[in-house]
């Protein structure tokens, strides 16, 4: 223990409130945050180059959190003081665990969101490439889980990609909000030390600072919003997982061998277990979001230790989504559409429209065709392929229309890639400034 000078390390307050387990996820981000703080003290001429260099070296040597500490911040500071000596205690000036943990959480979330945005793009590319190969692969479309009208598998895949595009934009907007720096805001009202918060933000690759020090040190709303983005993405993936369970059971598709398991008793079974687990994980993600909301909603403004209990749910959410994206990408790379006989009644709408376009009000034509379907005397005048080719609506499965829609979607992906790469490059260029100062401070040590 460093801060608490009464009692013992065996007190309940130590074991019950320690965040060491979840802090393991942010060790590197905590170290990077501390480096920015030390460099700021040096640039402000508060500490010498030699002291700054020694502290930076100690930060680099810190690898794990020993037991007996409240959190990673206390463990790191104690390590620095033991390694550097009393001069290591300068790091406490103008700094609080409140603004440092808020910064580290945002740095970690930023990396996770960048990775997830990359993975969404990869899945979208797989879907569109498969859609191009499936422009003429006839496939049933359903409403109320009843056969509705004929479409193509390429049209179905294009639908999934567009849903994921919406999720990508939501998560990218979350990323922009997360990429703002709380560092330098102290415990709640800043400090008498003239900390240049904009310079600290620049060194850590942030786009801006969170201006108000109360918000900077104690808000978690941007992180909660990021988890809401994960929930939205998981809702999309869960619906598709449900489709795969149903479609494979209907023998419309064959799921890849690496996605199915079998029964301990029934040797013929190909159970869609990855999709079942994906549905379950979407439910868990909703639970994580509910936990975050339930903890956060009743907290008074300013930092409260309840917030540390929220941290694990951020990492669980990001991990669940990354795993689900990887599984879904693998599935669609290797899925097979099986030959299937569609019910001719799925052409009833085309027949009614054809009659109506000859001058008969649609409702009259509708009831005429409906009567034949109910009596079992309906015989369509066109086949499934003709039905699809006759579609004139933008966004429909007509192969010529769908080709153009896929091209637009691919252009959209390229634009998303460009924005993401520009974002990454900006971060990298800014952090390189910190690295250059760090290297200079360590020369000759």
155 is a catalytic site residue: no
100 is a catalytic site residue: no
Catalytic residue among 48, 166, 263, 370: 263
Instruction: Tell me which DSSP letter residue 212 carries.
Output: S
User: What does the alpha-carbon distance between residue 12 and residue 18 come to, in Å, rounded to a whole number?
Assistant: 10
Inter-residue contact 120 to 162 (CB < 8 Å): no
Element (H, E) at 337: strand 336-337
User: What does the alpha-carbon distance between residue 395 and residue 385 come to, in Å, rounded to a whole number?
Assistant: 17
Inter-residue contact 244 to 274 (CB < 8 Å): no
Bridge pairing between strands 146-152 and 138-143: antiparallel
List CB contacts of 71: < 8 A, sequence separation 6 or more: 18, 19, 20, 23, 65, 97, 101, 308
Inter-residue contact 402 to 391 (CB < 8 Å): no
> ∠ at Cα 57 (110, 23), nearest 5°?
40
- Look up residue 116 and give its two tokens: 């997830």
Helix (H, G, I), strand (E, B) or coil at 135: coil
User: What does the alpha-carbon distance between residue 374 and residue 368 come to, in Å, rounded to a whole number?
Assistant: 10
Nearest to 91 by CA among 62, 111, 67: 62
User: What does the alpha-carbon distance between residue 117 and residue 128 come to, in Å, rounded to a whole number?
Assistant: 17
Q: Burial level of 301, CB count in 10 A (0-12/13-18/19+)?
A: exposed
Strand blocks (E) in 117-255: 138-143, 146-152, 180-181, 208-209, 253-254
- Look up residue 440 and give its two tokens: 């200079």
- Look up residue 365 and give its two tokens: 């034509």
- Look up residue 403 and give its two tokens: 């080709």
Q: What is the CB neighbour count within 10 angstroms for residue 320?
A: 20
Q: What is the CA radius of gyration of the chain?
A: 29
- Look up residue 389 and give its two tokens: 């080719």
Q: Burial level of 117, CB count in 10 A (0-12/13-18/19+)?
A: buried
Q: Which residues does the annotation mark as catalytic?
A: 144, 263
């Amino acid at each position: 223990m460093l801060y608490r000078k009464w009692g013992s390390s065996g007190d309940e307050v130590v074991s019950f409130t320690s965040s060491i387990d979840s802090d393991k996820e942010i060790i590197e981000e905590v170290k990077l945050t501390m480096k920015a703080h030390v460099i700021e003290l040096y640039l402000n001429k508060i500490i010498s180059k030699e002291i700054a260099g020694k502290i930076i070296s100690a930060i680099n040597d810190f690898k794990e959190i020993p037991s007996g500490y409240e959190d990673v911040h206390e463990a790191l500071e104690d390590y620095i003081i033991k390694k550097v000596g009393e001069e290591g205690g300068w790091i406490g000036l103008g700094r609080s665990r409140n603004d440092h943990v808020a910064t580290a959480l945002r740095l970690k979330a930023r990396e996770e969101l960048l990775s997830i945005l990359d993975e969404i793009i990869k899945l979208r590319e797989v879907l569109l490439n498969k859609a191009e190969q499936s422009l003429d692969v006839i496939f049933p479309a359903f409403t109320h889980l009843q056969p509705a009208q004929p479409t193509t598998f390429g049209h179905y895949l294009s639908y999934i990609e567009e849903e994921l595009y919406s999720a990508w934009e939501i998560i990218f907007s979350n990323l922009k909000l997360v990429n703002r720096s709380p560092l330098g805001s102290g415990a709640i009202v800043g400090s008498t030390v003239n900390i240049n918060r904009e310079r600290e933000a620049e060194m850590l690759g942030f786009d801006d600072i969170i201006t108000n020090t109360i918000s900077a040190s104690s808000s978690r709303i941007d992180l909660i919003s990021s988890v809401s983005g994960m929930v939205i993405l998981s809702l999309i993936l869960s619906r598709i997982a449900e489709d795969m369970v149903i479609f494979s059971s209907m023998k419309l598709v064959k799921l890849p061998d690496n996605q199915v398991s079998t029964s301990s008793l029934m040797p013929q079974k190909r159970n869609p277990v990855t999709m079942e687990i994906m549905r379950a994980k979407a439910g868990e993600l909703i639970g994580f979001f509910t936990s975050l909301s339930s903890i956060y909603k009743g907290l008074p403004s300013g930092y409260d230790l309840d917030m540390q209990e929220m941290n694990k749910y951020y990492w669980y959410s990001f991990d669940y989504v990354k795993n689900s994206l990887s599984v879904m990408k693998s599935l669609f790379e290797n899925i097979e559409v099986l030959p299937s006989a569609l019910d001719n009644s799925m052409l009833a709408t085309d027949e009614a429209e054809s009659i109506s376009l000859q001058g008969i009000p649609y409702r009259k034509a509708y009831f005429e065709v409906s009567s034949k379907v109910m009596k079992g005397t309906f015989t369509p005048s066109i086949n499934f392929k003709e039905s699809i080719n006759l579609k004139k609506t933008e966004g429909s499965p007509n192969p010529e229309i769908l080709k153009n829609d896929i091209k637009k979607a691919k252009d959209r992906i390229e634009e998303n890639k460009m924005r993401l790469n520009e974002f990454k490059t900006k971060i990298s260029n800014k952090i390189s400034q910190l690295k250059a100062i760090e290297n200079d401070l360590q020369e000759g040590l």
